[in-house]
Structure 1
Amino acid sequence: MRHWLPELIALPLLPFLIAQGRYTRHVTPRLPEASGPTSGITGETYGTTKPLHLLTLGESPVAGVGVGTHAEAITGQFAHALSGRLHQSVAWQALGKNGATAADALQILVPQLPQRQIDVALVAFGVNDTTAFRSVARWRDDLGHVLAALQERCTPRLILLSGVPPLQHFPALPQPLRWIMGMKARTLDAAACDLARTIPRLLHVPLALDPADPALMAVDGYHPSARGCNAWAQQLAEQCLHSGIFNEKP
């Protein structure tokens, strides 16, 4: 029953919520995906040792919406944070699509996965599944298939599964839409956390950003700014170090 609580609460408010959603889409600035290369290498000054390979797979933040380039987006900043902590170069690649659900990723992004081993993968979905009001069963199934495909094609040493962002704090969303979406996001995030416990070498990392801090958000109040991506990247890099994978031989 708790999985259906957001739907049960939203049902009598549906006409008003639909109107709020349409108004929000109308007044919220539509930002483009980041420009420039979607792959690169950082920390080349650390010498000729073999670089660490980082891959990110996800929705609009991975596509760089809210920042100018992928170097400023989560992938480039995560690579920079890892490189600085490990004193090692990091080769990075971003596979992102604005507006993508986990189901969309299976059709659009998964076919683009490289057929080679990587060291660290970041998977970041959930906002679009939340706004689409995906059922918990469908979300878990779609996300599970994305993770299985990633493991099969890339055999990552570590997968970080980013928590679904706390939509209840997104300044771009009016009330009560914000409250309902936040409840739905928490429900999907709990399902993602449960799924993560069943998969080895996978860590669920709750998103610790505060969307109410305007410095961390882009001008649309919906996507992370470069500063927000930096804070997120530092959190992810710390999780990588705490995982212990860098104490193991590849």
Structure 2
Amino acid sequence: MTETFARIALGPLLLIQGLYTRWVTPKLPEAEGERQGVAGRGVALRLLILGDSAAAGVGAATQDEAITGKLVARLANDYRITWTLWAQSGLDSRALLNVLERNSPEPFDVVLLCVGVNDVTSRISADQWLVQQDRLMELLSGKYAVKQIVVSPLPPMHLFPALPQPLRWYLGSRASRFNHRLAGLAERKDHCTLLAISLAPVAGLMAADGFHPGPAIYSLWADHAARAIQQRFQHNKNTGS
């Protein structure tokens, strides 16, 4: 069943399920804690964590338990990390573009980018979304002088326990299609690394809302992101670039 046909055939049901899910799903807060700091020792590395509610740490009590704290802790063993978190629940790609366009230029060596779930739940097409991802990447590499953009794939929404069927299937299908297009875009850009991780929900490891990661999943995500960053910057160090 194509997305267009699904919207026509299942549109009213998908709309009702979407509204109901928003109504009954617990609204969890963003993780508490600092949103910038310095940690570690070694080669200087300027890190930006950028994105939506997952980047903001929803599902973790503190930033130390969220993606920012986990990633900084792993990189601090080898780098002197100056880190910043720009993230907010509810942001879609258009809103994130507005943030980057509005903020003053500030150079970063590496950015962990996490955005897209709120786009999947909207009516934006994959083509329109890809244009926005391309613009995000160009803004980061241009205005913010980013050397590496580590892109987080959309999670497998067809496995989210908070979503009823057929809404779960529909959003999962869109997320998969968006990821496929995102992989092609990242492959065409030398400064982009798409993480090969699905962040699949695991029983007992998701947040209480059945929609966001819990600390254990944030930890796994940080492992993959740190590995990608270390591989890139170790290569640059070895080649003198």
- Please say whether Structure 1 and Structure 2 have the same fold, judged by a TM-score greater than 0.5: yes
Which of 72, 75, 85 does residue 94 from structure 1 map onto? 85
Does 2:154 correspond to 1:157? no
Which residue in 2 is equivalent to 1:57? 50
Structure 1: gaps (5+ residues): none
Deviations 1:3-39 (A, max 9, x none): x932322321111111111111111100112222211
Contact 1:169 1:212 in 2 (8 A): no
Contact 1:95 1:109 in 2 (8 A): no
Which residue in 2 is equivalent to 1:139? 129
Structure 2: gaps (5+ residues): none
Does 2:219 correspond to 1:230? yes
> What's the offset of the Cα at 1:248?
4.4
Out of 206-215 and 188-197, give the one that drifted further. 206-215
1-side partners of 2:46 and 2:2: how far apart?
41
2:80 corresponds to which letter in structure 1?
S
Which residue in 2 is equivalent to 1:209? 199
Secondary structure of the corresponding residue to residue 52 of structure 1: strand
Which of 99, 103, 116 does residue 108 from structure 1 map onto? 99
Does 2:192 correspond to 1:179? no
2:209 corresponds to which letter in structure 1?
D
Which residue in 1 is equivalent to 2:156? 166
Which residue in 2 is equivalent to 1:120? 110
Which residue in 2 is equivalent to 1:5? 2
Over aligned residues, Cα RMSD in angstroms?
1.9
Contact 1:56 1:93 in 2 (8 A): yes
Identity of aligned residues (%): 34
> CA 1:113–1:137 in structure 2 vs 1: closer, same or farther (change >3 Å)?
farther
Which residue in 1 is equivalent to 2:184? 194
Contact 2:100 2:139 in 1 (8 A): no
Deviations 1:108-127 (A, max 9, x none): 344236422x2211111110
1:127 corresponds to which letter in structure 2?
V
> What's the offset of the Cα at 1:40?
1.5
> CA 1:221–1:245 in structure 2 vs 1: closer, same or farther (change >3 Å)?
farther
2-side partners of 1:150 and 1:102: how far apart?
13
2-side partners of 1:111 and 1:149: how far apart?
11
1-side partners of 2:62 and 2:87: how far apart?
13
2-side partners of 1:66 and 1:109: how far apart?
25
Deviations 1:161-183 (A, max 9, x none): 11111101111111111011000
Deviations 1:124-152 (A, max 9, x none): 11101100031011101111111111111
> What's the offset of the Cα at 1:157?
2.0
Contact 2:93 2:132 in 1 (8 A): yes
Secondary structure of the corresponding residue to residue 51 of structure 1: strand
Secondary structure of the corresponding residue to residue 192 of structure 1: helix
Contact 2:156 2:172 in 1 (8 A): yes
1:178 corresponds to which letter in structure 2?
R
1-side partners of 2:122 and 2:144: how far apart?
29
- Give the TM-score normalised by the residue count of structure 2: 0.91
Secondary structure of the corresponding residue to residue 85 of structure 2: strand
Contact 2:93 2:115 in 1 (8 A): yes
> What's the offset of the Cα at 1:98?
0.8
Which residue in 1 is equivalent to 2:34? 37
Secondary structure of the corresponding residue to residue 2 of structure 2: helix
Secondary structure of the corresponding residue to residue 143 of structure 1: helix
